[in-house]
């Protein structure tokens, strides 16, 4: 089965630093998403992205977050000035069409903010 790839698997950063989390969605997918899961808590929707723009974002996705598709394959999540509470597992997901019921998730990036 095709896979969504995320790098790095672990990222440690100092509070206030910028981080970029990278994702390579499945090649023929057009709709991309980021999620967050704080340790022991729920998987939460952050943002959806289509046709090079944000389709929808949650309350969590504030001005310190941004997403980008810098080329034909990568999809990135940038956190401009990290806070301790940004420590979480971040998952990228994609699907080919919005009518598809199945979301394909990557293995995640564990972000630790010190």
Partner 1 sequence: LAKTTQPISMDSYEGQEVNITCSHNNIATNDYITWYQQFPSQGPRFIIQGYKTKVTNEVASLFIPADRKSSTLSLPRVSLSDTAVYYCLVGPKGFGNEKLTFGTGTRLTIIP
**Contacts with partner 1, residue ranges (CB under 8 A):** 4, 31, 33, 35, 42-45, 48, 56, 58, 89, 91-93, 95, 97-108, 110
Two tokens at 59? Answer: 């309350």
Residue 28's Cα: distance from chain center in Å? 18
Residue 47 C-beta: closest distance to partner 1, Å: 10
- State which residue, 53 or 97, has the beta carbon closest to partner 1: 97
Two tokens at 58? Answer: 């949650």
- State which residue, 82 or 94, has the beta carbon closest to partner 1: 94
Two tokens at 61? Answer: 């996705």
- State which residue, 82 or 109, has the beta carbon closest to partner 1: 109
- Residue with the two structure tokens 């980021």: 34
């Amino acid at each position: 089965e095709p896979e969504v790839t995320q790098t790095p698997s672990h990222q440690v950063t100092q509070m206030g630093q910028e981080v970029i989390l990278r994702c390579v969605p499945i090649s023929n997918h057009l709709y991309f998403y980021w999620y967050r899961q704080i340790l022991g808590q729920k998987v939460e929707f952050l943002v959806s992205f289509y046709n090079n723009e944000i389709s929808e974002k949650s309350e969590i996705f504030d001005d310190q977050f941004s997403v980008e598709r810098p080329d034909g394959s990568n999809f990135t999540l940038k956190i401009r000035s990290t806070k301790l509470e940004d420590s979480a597992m971040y998952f990228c997901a994609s699907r080919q069409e919005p009518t598809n019921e199945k979301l394909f998730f990557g293995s995640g990036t564990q972000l630790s903010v010190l």
